[in-house]
Amino acid sequence: LLHCVASDLGTFQTFVIEELASAPNVDTVRTALTIRRVKDEGLVAF
């Protein structure tokens, strides 16, 4: 298990593809992103 923090998703993607996934001792890479709640105003009117 590896906890990573990046300044943006592009930086994270580059790290995962170019560094982590290409490492010789890494077999599988799975990611899960945590998105925090920014705004809670109830239902969206249509």
pLDDT by residue (tens digit) across 1-46? Answer: 888 889 999 999 999 999 999 999 999 999 988 777 777 776 766 6
Distance of CA 24 to the CA centre of its chain: 21
Q: Which two tokens stand for residue 30?
A: 């799975």
Q: Is 7 part of a structural domain of the chain?
A: yes
Q: Is 13 part of a structural domain of the chain?
A: yes
Task: Please give the helix or strand (H or E) that residue 39 lies within, else none.
Answer: none
Asked whether the CA dihedral 10, 11, 12, 16 is positive or negative, the reply is positive
Total domains present in the chain: 1
State the residue range of the domain holding 8: 1-34
Query: What pTM was computed for the model?
Result: 0.62
Instruction: Decide: 16 and 10 in contact? Cβ < 8 Å.
Output: no
